[in-house]
Structure 1
Amino acid sequence: MRLAMLDIGSAAARLDIVDLASPRMPRATWSVKSRSHLAEHTLPDGRVTEEGIADAVRAVRRCVRAAADKPTEALIAYGTSAVRDASNGARLRKRLGEAAGVRIGVLTPRDEAAVTYHAARRWHGRSGRLMTTVDIGGGTVDVATGTSTDPHRVVSLPHGAARLTRQFLPDDPPTRAQLAELRRELHETIPPSLRGVEAGHPLALSKVLRQLAVLTESVPHATVRRPHRLRLQELSRWIPRLAELDHQQRAKLPGVSRSRGRRILAGAIVAEVIMESLELPELEICPWGLRQGLVYRFLEARTRTRAEALDLVGSLFD
């Protein structure tokens, strides 16, 4: 069976086709991505502009059209926080669903963190050992801990890198006052929320953290494409430099994509505060995330009929 998965995020829409008959971990055998620009067109009040909706619709249509000649048995389409948290989210999801030809689901922050944690546990293995995942998305930051395939505690805060950039860092580059206000907000909310969390083995999820790892582990004229860790000491050393650059200059740095040049600074500061709060000198980079977690959920449901499997995975979404 080949499963199509359409992920609509703050930076891009991505459609993967996954071969579920693969004897190894099911991987995407084909993929296409198109920039959605949702983060760039989300206003401070959370509303996505008409231009932003149109851009996202075009991105979804490009993905679906590109996959038109790729036979699949099912399409699961979902939006991340950029879609879920939009103040005009109902209209946005309706338009995106019309473009995709299927209903666009969204996960609650806690469910999204749990599914992502599940993927990380599968990747890392060693069930029974305490593990912690840190996931910095566009709208939320999630910290999940547990010893089995599902977390026993999830902390989800509205401190995603794109959201914080809109709320606290409107200037590019930001002013010292804006940076101070952002740090004050994070230090007032993150440490109390993480109080009592036992870190265990820490894993970093999300593209923001992976790009920060590439940036901080690289040296002049030698980019580390697949870093194994994000170190707090190196991260803290880079933050002042990132704060001095505008988004175009940041996008020229090793590992930093153009779509995340603006938000990478807020993401770095959030990561620093979390690592300091949990006393983590480093995070191990995990390449898996929400997509892989959803694939595993679907595989676990396949002991039933195909229709029941789709219903069970669909029940995860609002």
Structure 2
Amino acid sequence: MRLGVLDVGSNTVHLLVVDAHRGGHPMPMSSTKSVLRLSENMDDKGRITRDGSDLLTSTVDEFASIATTSGCGELMAFATSAVRDAENSDEVLARVRDKTGVELEVLSGEDEARLTFLAVRRWYGWSAGRILNLDIGGGSLELTIGGDEDPEVAHSLQLGAGRLTRDWLQGDPPGKRRVSVLRDWLDAELVEPAKELKAAGKPDLAVGTSKTFRSLARLTGAAPSGAGIRVKRTLTSSGLRQLIAFISRMTSADRAELEGVSADRSQQLVAGALIAEASMRALSIDTIDICPWALREGLILRKLDTEMGGDLVVSTT
């Protein structure tokens, strides 16, 4: 069966089309992205602006048409942090549904964390043992640990790269003092979540998912995307510290010239690197493996597990 997965994130809307069957490896057929920066289209009351709502509606409509012409038997459409946190979330969702016919499911932060963990577990298999996963999005940071397919501990924290860039690092380049203060603040914010994750047991494998982790790994020497998704890629805490010292002195335009950094994410790169560094420090991790599968693949796998054509069971807000 051909499935379409429409992911409305804080930075981008992403349509992934895959051929999938239960017990099989989801095979990607096409991938389409559009940079919306929904998290930046918010007014001072935390509401998505009319312009932001218009842009989201037109993009969802366009991508739903692409899914149809691509032969998708079903479109799984969901939204994460930006829509989840918006004060007018229900109003925006209703407008998208009325104008496009697409019902966007809003994933809770915990669902987002658990589905991403499922994808990571399936990618590495049971031989990986206990897995600790870190996922940095535009609006939130997800931290999970467990020995099974469902994590024992799952946290979703409002520590996304886009959010912290807007709140802390508005200078271009960001000031040295702001970087230092943000480092200290992140350390404080992660004390309690890290304590709970550590209490669950020592991981056999630490993993990073998301575009942010892939970019950071590439900038510290990991293989480029052209080498294929099965090439082992890692990120070390020492390499990350050196990278932060380098990129925090650059403008976003200069960072966009670096290999593996897209122009739409260059502004958030420093915040993303600081979040990764603080998370690894709090969890006493020196090295993480980069997993190519994340939330979208987790949704597909859960769909297949609940049988083709069945309902996707997640809690919504």
Alpha-carbon distance in structure 1 between the residues aligned to 2:250 and 2:42: 23
Q: For 1:216, which of 212, 220, 238 is the aligned residue?
A: 220
Deviations 1:111-144 (A, max 9, x none): 1101100110000002681110000111111110
Alpha-carbon distance in structure 1 between the residues aligned to 2:37 and 2:263: 11
Q: 1:135·1:204 contact (CA, 8 Å) conserved in 2?
A: yes
1:132 is matched by which residue type in structure 2? L
Match of 2:67? Answer: 67
Q: For 1:288, which of 287, 293, 313 is the aligned residue?
A: 293
Alpha-carbon distance in structure 2 between the residues aligned to 1:315 and 1:290: 13
Q: 2:134·2:142 contact (CA, 8 Å) conserved in 1?
A: yes
Match of 2:54? Answer: 54
Structure possessing the higher relative contact order (Cα contacts under 8 Å, 6 or more residues apart)? 2
Q: 1:191·1:274 contact (CA, 8 Å) conserved in 2?
A: no
- Gap change, CA 1:264 and 1:100, over 3 Å in 2: farther
How does the TM-score come out when normalised to structure 1? 0.89
Matches within 5 A, 1:87-98: 87-98=87-98
Alpha-carbon distance in structure 2 between the residues aligned to 1:224 and 1:302: 32
Range that drifts further, 29-38 or 137-146: 29-38
Q: Structure 1 residue runs of 4+, over 6 Å off?
A: none
Q: 2:41·2:52 contact (CA, 8 Å) conserved in 1?
A: yes
Match of 1:194? Answer: 194
C-alpha deviation, 1:101, in angstroms: 1.5
Q: 1:115·1:293 contact (CA, 8 Å) conserved in 2?
A: yes
Range that drifts further, 126-135 or 284-293: 126-135
Match of 1:204? Answer: 208
1:185 lines up with 2:178 in the alignment: no
Alpha-carbon distance in structure 2 between the residues aligned to 1:23 and 1:111: 22
Alpha-carbon distance in structure 2 between the residues aligned to 1:240 and 1:272: 12
Alpha-carbon distance in structure 1 between the residues aligned to 2:239 and 2:184: 22
1:256 lines up with 2:255 in the alignment: no
Range that drifts further, 173-182 or 201-210: 173-182
Range that drifts further, 272-281 or 32-41: 32-41
C-alpha deviation, 1:93, in angstroms: 2.0
SS at match of 1:203: strand
SS at match of 2:195: coil
Alpha-carbon distance in structure 2 between the residues aligned to 1:79 and 1:68: 20
Alpha-carbon distance in structure 1 between the residues aligned to 2:224 and 2:290: 16
C-alpha deviation, 1:54, in angstroms: 2.2
C-alpha deviation, 1:161, in angstroms: 0.6
C-alpha deviation, 1:56, in angstroms: 2.2
Alpha-carbon distance in structure 2 between the residues aligned to 1:45 and 1:178: 25
- Gap change, CA 1:102 and 1:205, over 3 Å in 2: same
Alpha-carbon distance in structure 2 between the residues aligned to 1:53 and 1:171: 27
1:205 is matched by which residue type in structure 2? T
Alpha-carbon distance in structure 2 between the residues aligned to 1:275 and 1:128: 19
Match of 2:144? Answer: 144
Count residues with an aligned counterpart: 309
1:130 is matched by which residue type in structure 2? R
Q: 1:78·1:104 contact (CA, 8 Å) conserved in 2?
A: yes
Q: 2:67·2:75 contact (CA, 8 Å) conserved in 1?
A: no
Alpha-carbon distance in structure 2 between the residues aligned to 1:45 and 1:244: 32
C-alpha deviation, 1:100, in angstroms: 3.9
SS at match of 1:68: helix
* Structure 1, unpaired ranges of 5+: none
* Structure 2, unpaired ranges of 5+: none
Matches within 5 A, 1:238-257: 238-257=243-262
SS at match of 1:5: strand
Cα RMSD (Å) of the superposition?
A: 2.2
1:236 is matched by which residue type in structure 2? R
Deviations 1:188-208 (A, max 9, x none): 111332015144110110111
Alpha-carbon distance in structure 1 between the residues aligned to 2:261 and 2:144: 26
SS at match of 1:235: helix
Q: 2:141·2:156 contact (CA, 8 Å) conserved in 1?
A: yes
